[in-house]
Structure 1
């Protein structure tokens, strides 16, 4: 076989593989999930999303003004589904409360985020953010409790035991400690949130 024919056959094979993949993707079910990331200002909500979507971490803090929406498509092989995640990064400042509550209406799930180095942000989870989520999100919405900034070990004020206890008290589907800076458990947090939502709504995917 000549080199020309080898290259031609290789190109044809690649084209066939690509066509099969495109055909398979076209048959995949497509769903959209609205996820809200909630918590006090500067707990790392934006940083968690940035790390999950782009793998980057910005060292300079810039508060979210109102809302920032980011999109990520993920493929769930066992469901033959493509899930479009609509990640709503909502400002934590009190002055945005009215608009924030409107923005996260209809959320299927949420990461309730506190800063491991600031106990006041931990207390806000049950006194504010959980209450808001239950009031405005979908009735069957699920949420994971997230303790962020795990990399600042010398400054931690909230123990893992306290986090686990609160997650049980508020009936969170999971509790995860993360580091948006190092990326520790960030992918896992979003993956588990999506998994819990899909399991709860499995009949809608069939």
Structure 2
């Protein structure tokens, strides 16, 4: 009886590993969350809308209808959005440095889109064309119909530009939010519990002394 009690105590000592252990490990598939944002579609949308905006502004500049000092910053900001869209597409490889670059560029793109939106609002509120003429006979001012059509078209384009920039801001915020989840720059990486079950060791065969 004393020998059996000693054997039980030896089997339950601290050197024996537990049968069930719970550990917390980082989710290896957390990078896949970035793909849930459809980065290819959103990146192509960023590039396409920005190219469209640059094309419209370039046409107005070529016709002398816009001030170069105002439109050059607009074009530069749009180019930053194009770069951000390209990085978002490249980040589909889920390479951590590329994801960090995507996060930084999306923050820059959001700021650039807000800047362009502000410029579009200013242009919408303060636009005029010198296409009127003064009639010296009866002292009246006349606005040709072409000038009015041009002013209406310009107002519509400025309004459209505001909507486009608002869409670009929303896209940048969406991509930045998903990058944040993967990069974990705002909070520590979430950990998931892992339960390990170990089979008990087989009892040793007992041999009776003859």
Return the TM-score normalized by structure 2: 0.21
- The structure number with the bigger radius of gyration is 2
Between Structure 1 and Structure 2, the one with more strand by share is 1
Higher relative contact order (CA 8 A, sep 6+): 2
* TM-score normalised by length of structure 1: 0.21
